[in-house]
Amino acid sequence: MSGYIARRLLQGVVAIVGALLIVFVAQRLSGDPVALMLPMDATEEDFAAMRQALGLDRPLPAQFVVFIANAVQGDFGDSYQWQAPAMALLLERLPATLELALAGLVFALLLAVPLGVISAVHRGGVVDRVAKIFAMLGQAVPGFWIGLLLILFIAVELQWLPAFGRGGLANLVLPAIALGWYPVAAMTRTLRSSMLDILDSDYVRMERAIGLPERWIVWRFALRNAFVPLVTMIGVYFANMLGGAFVIEVVFAWPGVGRAVVDAVFARDFPVVQAGVVLAAVVFVVVNLIVDLSYGFIDPRIRHG
Amino acid sequence: MSAAKLLAWLRPSKRRERPTAREMQPDRVAEPRTGRLEVRDLKTHLFLKRGVLKAVDGVSFDLAARETLGLIGESGSGKTMTGLSLLGLPPKPAGRIVEGSVKLDGRELVGLPEDVLVDEVRGRQIAMISQDPMTSLNPVFTVGAQVAAPIRAHGLAQASAALGMAVDELDRVRVPSARERARDFPHQFSGGMRQRVVAAMAIACRPRLLIADEPTSALDVTIQVQFMDLIERLQDETDAALLFITHDLGVAASLCHRIAVMYAGRIVELADATELYAAPKHPYSQGLLASVPKLGRRGERLTAIPGNPPNPLDLPSGCAFHPCCPHATEQCRREAPPTVAVDGSGEVACWLHV
Amino acid sequence: MAEAVLPRPLLGRLLRAREGGFPYIAATVLALVLVCALLGPWISPHDAGRIALSEAMTPPAWLEGGSMSHVLGTDNLGRDILSRIIAGARVSANVALYAIVLSGFIGAVLGMAAGYFGGVVDALISRLIDVQMSVPSIPLAMLFAAVLPPGEAMVIFIIVLSYWTWYARLVRGEVLSLRERDFVKLAKVAGVGTPTVFYRHLAPNVLNMLLVLATLQFGSVIVFEAGLSFLGLGIQPPNVSWGGMLADGRNFIEVAWWLITMPGLAIMAACLASNLLGDWLRDTLDPVRRQL
């Protein structure tokens, strides 16, 4: 287990260094990186100072080392929109994004778990068919459009829930649905197919033979087995949702990392953009690491294996 | 004395502290002489796309308390399906009990609603020890929780008390240091130990009928012997009737009082174990016994039963065994033989004995 | 029991002539998108960019105040929605085709190299895939949107950057298993050169899978492009795109629901059609492997 953790940690570090490399390449791709790093009204002295700070007079590998060294300290330069360290600005907004992504995940699970379980138990039944249609639509309809429709119907027409901003639970509902919409389909299918296998397994047959009520077998026992493959996917989905949150945040004016990065792109505030990309990669790696470790919690075979 | 018995003798179990089977079932009346289980003309068919598979096709037998009946036959002969039918669990959605009667202590089980079967029969009155210990335990729950599950489901005890009882059951099936091991997961147990856990799950509610479906076929021979001893002892302690399903004639001979030989969904011969081994009446039983290698008779040719097992979806007319039978006559081709009593205790379904 | 007869799913009955049959509706929708892309200027009722403030915010034809000359209504500048959707189809189809062909080609070549040569090549390419996959694609898109000049070329570049890994992983896995098969081993023993083995024996075997994945991803790429354009980071005005239309319509969500509904329906139809066609292709070309 500890060897496994060490290997996963190493993979995570490699991935983050890779992300840093991509950011570095993107910087250089644009021609003069200093032009990206400084506001448009910067003076010639600013340029010279920045060039020296970035070590642009040195060879590329050396520049990369400097870049990495700064990055490790969380230093991606100052946002010139806000005159503050870029990473700190984004970290301030990270809780809002995590809150949204978690709410999206909760929504997705709330819908996918009953749908997946019921469509496996009553295969070919009404719920199974509805879930199938849902799955097809789920993958074809972009979440941000769902967001717009939700705003149109729930917020504007019916005026049930607020459409914009962050605040109480009411503000969270619509963006969470828009964000959680997409993974519902795949989660439902995964859960359904693993549930079908499990309900046909020897141990479920044994559980039936010793007279456990069917609802125990399904909801207390088999569901826990079915969660093992689902958890594998939750990491990937959660990471995708963090990315997707960038768009949903714009739709619902949610004050998170994504909206800050989109604004920064328009304001040509490059330090914030690159900090945003690296932050997204770090969160992705950390989330997947947590997911890997939590397998052991759900599947004891991995804990002891 | 076997290793398991030796161990049992060396280490006085906590059995005395537990209520005995009789105390756990205070409503139980004295055993009627007619027998505990009466199966009459049981038919379980599988309705498949390709046709109707008559997996169990008119099976009848009796079983008394403490008695062991061996159900032997090759795979596909309907042994397991018979066991599942007694539990009211033919495979869904294709399987259905179409006819017949199963009476346990005089109570008709066929036709009982599903919730009554779940609440009062499965695991409570009839329990099954399944074939493969490696796959019969849920990998993500502790064995303690799994043994406690039927105790809780049948309302014998609540959460923590049920866990305590589960530990006692594990102790009863001789899982060493049961209290600690109850917190372990199935993958931390060996095959033989897992099968003991399965047995503990089955006997946890003191069923009156225990069905063991090839419980030892996945185990090493030494472990097999230990497990057979254990089953015998559990049967003694709980007063259960035992239906022992196997294709292993040797195992059946060592354990069973009587043996029923199944072929193509029917019992072709039922007799006392000693009688059957000494003088099998049905040609199929004769072939089955002749195909078993006997110790000390090395060099003797093993006789195979001629022909192939019949296609279960398209059984031969008359006696299903006739295409493979050396004594087949025109009558065998036309008409299925009735089951007739022979030599006191035995029954056989063959025109040779009518 | 796998053999028990199951009722056919409702949507399957609706969208396919029979189970596993050719999905006519889906194919028609995709063909329509392609026709719009090719013949847009000739078949659209109006010029997509024509501004007519006097006709602004005309609702769809079937509503009160609607007119048959603007079947799906007009936007805040009086531009015809139907014409703009037809013009958007050109952008969507164009971006999706280029992006898929490019990412398919790059992914297939790298995947084949990794699977065929193994060792250091495989390790390098596999790490590259890992790294690529650990940067969520939307933030990555923003990075490049910040440094590259916006437009179709940039959108295609960003999509290729995020999508090539799918093809690379698929092809690598397939080649790894093919490499062990007899006909490839025999060819190597017989002294057939590496390029010939690639071309003769490996490419045909992975082509089917590539085709299936490409069809399935056509819709996903359209959604991705729409997302970028919605954010204002993709296709720039005056070029018309479905995502851009949604972004414009968003400002008038309280007065003109059709502005955000119609382009969204177009995205949904195109994506649903490509998924259904992809499913059909997969079942037809490779009935055994259904885990794509």
Each residue's pLDDT tens digit, B244-261: 998 888 888 888 889 999
Q: What is the Cα–Cα distance from B5 to B247, expressed in whole angstroms? A: 26
Q: What is the Cα–Cα distance from B169 to B174, expressed in whole angstroms? A: 9
CB contact under 8 A, B185 and A304: yes
The pLDDT of residue A27 is above 90: no
Q: Does B94 touch chain C (CB under 8 A)?
A: yes
**Is B286 or C102 the better-scoring residue by pLDDT?**
C102
Average pLDDT over residues B52-75: 88
Pairing of strands B68-72, B241-246: parallel
Q: Is B330 in contact with B339 (CB distance < 8 Å)? A: no
Q: Residue C104: its pLDDT value, please?
A: 93
The pLDDT of residue B177 is above 80: yes
The pLDDT of residue B217 is above 60: yes
Instruction: Return the half-sphere exposure (C-beta side, CA atoms, 13 A cut-off) of residue C186.
Output: 5
Q: How does pLDDT run across C11-24, given as a tens digit for each residue? A: 444 444 345 567 88
The pLDDT of residue C260 is above 70: yes
CB contact under 8 A, B93 and C4: yes
Spatial CA neighbour of A77 closest among A107, A103, A53, A102 = A53
Cα A141 → chain centroid: 18
Residues in B closer than 8 angstroms to A210, CB to CB, are 122-123, 127-128, 149-150, 153, 201-202, 204-205
The pLDDT of residue A45 is above 90: no
Q: Any residues with CB less than 8 A from the CB of B34 and at least 6 apart, and which?
A: B62
Confidence of residue B326 (pLDDT cuts 50, 70, 90): confident
Q: What is the Cα–Cα distance from B223 to B230, expressed in whole angstroms? A: 10
Q: Residue B51: its pLDDT value, please?
A: 83
Q: How does pLDDT run across A213-252, given as a tens digit for each residue? A: 888 899 988 988 888 888 877 877 887 787 788 889 998 9
Average pLDDT over residues B141-147: 92
Residue indicated by tokens 């689902």: A230
Q: Any residues with CB less than 8 A from the CB of C47 and at least 6 apart, and which?
A: C83
Confidence of residue C5 (pLDDT cuts 50, 70, 90): very low
Q: What is the Cα–Cα distance from B107 to B103, expressed in whole angstroms? A: 5
Q: Residue B324: its pLDDT value, please?
A: 82
Q: What is the Cα–Cα distance from B14 to B171, expressed in whole angstroms? A: 8
Q: What is the Cα–Cα distance from A113 to A195, expressed in whole angstroms? A: 11
Tokens describing residue B192: 């033989």
Residue of B121, B130, B138 to mutate for A, most A C-beta atoms under 10 A: B138
Q: Is B126 in contact with B87 (CB distance < 8 Å)? A: yes
Chain C adjacent subunits, 3+ CB pairs under 8 A: A, B
Output the CA–CA distances (angstroms, integers) from residue C178 to A73, B18, C65, in the order listed. 46, 62, 63
Q: Which chain C residues in 201-220 lie under 8 Å from chain A, judged by CB atoms?
A: 219-220
Q: Residue B7: its pLDDT value, please?
A: 39
Q: What is the pTM of this model?
A: 0.78
Q: Does A122 touch chain B (CB under 8 A)?
A: no
The pLDDT of residue B300 is above 70: no
- Tell me the CA end-to-end span of chain C in Å, nearest whole number: 24
Question: String of b and e for A63-72 (b: at least 16 CB within 10 Å)?
Answer: bbeebeeebe
Q: For chain B, what percent of residues have pLDDT higher than 90?
A: 17
Confidence of residue B30 (pLDDT cuts 50, 70, 90): very low
Average pLDDT, rounded, for chain C:
81
Q: Residue C99: its pLDDT value, please?
A: 94
Nearest to A273 among C10, C143, C219 (CB): C143
Q: What is the Cα–Cα distance from A169 to C69, expressed in whole angstroms? A: 45
Residues in A closer than 8 angstroms to B198, CB to CB, are 206
Average pLDDT over residues C72-93: 86
Residues in A closer than 8 angstroms to C227, CB to CB, are 142, 144, 247
Average pLDDT over residues B259-268: 90
Confidence of residue A183 (pLDDT cuts 50, 70, 90): confident
Average pLDDT over residues B87-99: 86
Residue B341, phi then psi, degrees to nearest 5: -80, 140
Q: Does C5 touch chain B (CB under 8 A)?
A: yes
Average pLDDT over residues C254-277: 88
Q: How does pLDDT run across C111-133, given as a tens digit for each residue? A: 988 888 888 988 889 888 888 87
Q: Residue A171: its pLDDT value, please?
A: 85
The pLDDT of residue C102 is above 90: yes
Residue B129, phi then psi, degrees to nearest 5: -100, 120
- Superfamily of chain region A92-304: MetI-like (1.10.3720.10)
Q: Residue A176: its pLDDT value, please?
A: 92
Neighbours of C220 (CB within 10 A): 21
Confidence of residue A109 (pLDDT cuts 50, 70, 90): very high
Residue of A210, A224, A227, A295 to mutate for B, most B C-beta atoms under 10 A: A210
Q: Any residues with CB less than 8 A from the CB of C13 and at least 6 apart, and which?
A: none
The pLDDT of residue C3 is above 80: no
Biggest CA-to-CA distance, chain A: 82
Q: How does pLDDT run across C185-226, given as a tens digit for each residue? A: 777 777 777 677 767 767 777 788 888 889 888 988 999 999
Average pLDDT over residues B210-225: 82
Q: Any residues with CB less than 8 A from the CB of C199 and at least 6 apart, and which?
A: none
Q: What is the Cα–Cα distance from C51 to C42, expressed in whole angstroms? A: 19
Tokens describing residue B44: 């379980």
Q: What is the Cα–Cα distance from A291 to A239, expressed in whole angstroms? A: 11
How far A205 CA sits from the closest chain B CA (Å)?
8
Q: Using CA atoms of A210, A213, A216, A218 in order, give the dihedral in degrees to the nearest 10.
A: 90
Q: Residue B13: its pLDDT value, please?
A: 34
**Is C202 or B103 the better-scoring residue by pLDDT?**
B103
Q: Is B262 in contact with B71 (CB distance < 8 Å)? A: yes
Residues in C closer than 8 angstroms to B92, CB to CB, are 1
Neighbours of B256 (CB within 10 A): 22
The C-alpha angle B111, B113, B117, rounded to 5 degrees, equals 95
The amino acid sitting at B49 is K
Element spanning A271, H or E: helix A270-298
The pLDDT of residue C10 is above 60: no
Tokens describing residue A8: 């996963």
Q: Residue B301: its pLDDT value, please?
A: 52
Cα C288 → chain centroid: 25
Q: Any residues with CB less than 8 A from the CB of A83 and at least 6 apart, and which?
A: none
Q: What is the Cα–Cα distance from A62 to A73, expressed in whole angstroms? A: 17
Average pLDDT over residues A72-92: 86
Neighbours of A113 (CB within 10 A): 18
The pLDDT of residue B296 is above 80: no
Residues in A closer than 8 angstroms to C146, CB to CB, are 26, 36, 264-265, 268, 270, 273
The pLDDT of residue B24 is above 60: no
CB contact under 8 A, B127 and A202: no
Q: Is B244 in contact with B70 (CB distance < 8 Å)? A: yes
Q: Is B190 in contact with B133 (CB distance < 8 Å)? A: no
Q: What is the Cα–Cα distance from A162 to A252, expressed in whole angstroms? A: 10
The C-alpha angle A15, A18, A19, rounded to 5 degrees, equals 90
Question: String of b and e for B195-229 (b: at least 16 CB within 10 Å)?
Answer: bbbbbbbbbbbbbbbbbbbbbbebbeeebbbbbbb
Q: Which chain B residues in 31-50 lie under 8 Å from chain C, judged by CB atoms?
A: 46, 48-50
Q: Residue C197: its pLDDT value, please?
A: 72
How far A225 CA sits from the closest chain B CA (Å)?
7
Q: Residue C98: its pLDDT value, please?
A: 94
Q: Residue C9: its pLDDT value, please?
A: 44
Average pLDDT over residues A163-175: 83
Report for A96-110, B272-286, B301-315, C72-86: range of highest mean pLDDT: A96-110
Q: Is C7 exposed, middle or buried (0-12, 13-18, 19+ CB in 10 A)?
A: exposed
Average pLDDT, rounded, for chain A:
84
Q: What is the Cα–Cα distance from C24 to C16, expressed in whole angstroms? A: 7
The pLDDT of residue B11 is above 70: no
Q: How does pLDDT run across C128-167, given as a tens digit for each residue? A: 888 887 777 888 888 888 888 888 899 999 999 889 999 9
Neighbours of B354 (CB within 10 A): 12
The pLDDT of residue A146 is above 80: yes
Q: What is the DSSP letter of C80?
A: B
Q: Residue B170: its pLDDT value, please?
A: 92
CB contact under 8 A, B141 and A221: yes
Q: Is B197 in contact with B170 (CB distance < 8 Å)? A: yes
Chain A adjacent subunits, 3+ CB pairs under 8 A: B, C
Tokens describing residue A63: 């520049």
Average pLDDT over residues B83-96: 87
Domain ranges of chain A: 2-72, 92-304
CB contact under 8 A, B123 and A211: yes
Residue B113, Ramachandran bin (φ over 0: left; ψ between -120 and 50: alpha; else beta): beta
Residue B50, phi then psi, degrees to nearest 5: -85, -5
Nearest to C131 among A15, A128, A288 (CB): A15
Output the CA–CA distances (angstroms, integers) from residue B172 to B6, B154, B166, B175, B198, in the order listed. 15, 20, 10, 8, 12
Q: What is the Cα–Cα distance from C137 to C126, expressed in whole angstroms? A: 18
